[in-house]
Amino acid sequence: MPAYAPSDLFTLHVPSSLWLPLAALAGIALDRLFGEVKRWHPLAGFGSLAEAAENALNWGAWRRANGLLAWMIVVLPWVALAFWVKRYDFPGWCIDVALLYLALGGRSLAEHAERVATDLANGDLPAARKHVGWIVSRDTSALDASGVAKAGVESTLENGNDAVFGTLFWFVLFGGAGAVLFRLANTLDAMWGYRNERFLRFGWAAARFDDLLNYLPARLTALSYALCGGSFAAMRHALACWYKQAPRWESPNAGPVMAAGAGSLGLVLGGAAIYHGQLEERPLLGTGRPANPEDIARALTLVRHSLALWLAVYVCGGLASA
């Protein structure tokens, strides 16, 4: 009997078309088991690098060009490095798994949403306001229980795309390098993509890159929310809300995701919210009743069922190609 290295065994027994689907399963399992790294997470270091780049380049008359340059400086070297370390063998497979695990935020999203739901269930409105403020950018200090629940549901639906499905989409296309590209671009949009005096011009490139990278994933996420609503009627509502309401939403990608999610859950989301001290009248999304605390768990279930659908399609596609 010949002796095989572990990489030889992996190559012999696993068809190449199943490498990335199995890496996706492994990366998602690690995220589910361990969540985000508590100390020395690479994204924390990336955030410090991005802050330094913004401080150095966000000035003068060429802020748009400087913003584009800063985006390329802080994103592209890491994506290139992820492509460079990629090898089509067992160690390369492990690198893909590790990069996907570090890029995902599924368990972190669930933990934050569940904390808010628990606060509301315990009747601790001040804690619920505080904790939902960690995952939304609006002012939460005066929200009632229904307002907190609405904010929690909206964040769960939108971040389901940003923290899970967008990352997985680009991983399917380019492996670990694709996951790194999406997560870093999405992080920069969260840091620089504000329409205020400081970031209106400098953050333009970060916002546009995030819109571009999120365009297809957001629509696939919206379709998944519609398909996983649990009934044909829920699917019809979700698709109708997506078609009629999403174009009114300011964000071209958050609109389809939240409209389809709201329609699938039978809830009304959107409406008035305070951002940076200013009251904004956002369009209404969905149909049905206002959100209540129990709907945060329903939104998380919708995200999880949609993830199961994505993985089933991905693995079945790999098996069919094997």
pLDDT of residue 9: 41
- Are 262 and 269 in contact by the 8 Å Cβ rule? The answer is yes
Token duo for residue 168 = 């997985």
* Strand arrangement, sheet containing 278-286: 278-286, 267-275, 289-290
Helix (H) or strand (E) holding 80: helix 63-85
3 state DSSP class of 206: helix
Stretches where the chain sits below pLDDT 50 are: 1-6, 9, 12
Convert the pLDDT of each residue in 144-182 to its tens digit. Answer: 999 999 999 999 999 999 999 999 999 999 999 999 999
> Domain extents for the chain?
16-321
Q: Closest Cα partner for 254 from 292, 293, 283? A: 283
- Overall residue count recorded for the chain in this entry: 322
pLDDT of residue 87: 67
Q: Enumerate the β-bridge partners of residue 281.
A: 272
Q: Answer positive or negative: Cα dihedral of 311, 312, 317, 318.
A: positive
Convert the pLDDT of each residue in 10-24 to its tens digit. Answer: 554 667 778 889 999
pLDDT of residue 167: 97
**Would you report the helix, strand and coil content of the chain in percent, each value rounded to 5?**
70, 5, 20
Q: Closest Cα partner for 141 from 293, 273, 289? A: 273
pLDDT of residue 1: 40
pTM attached to this predicted model:
0.92
CA distance 86 to 267: 44
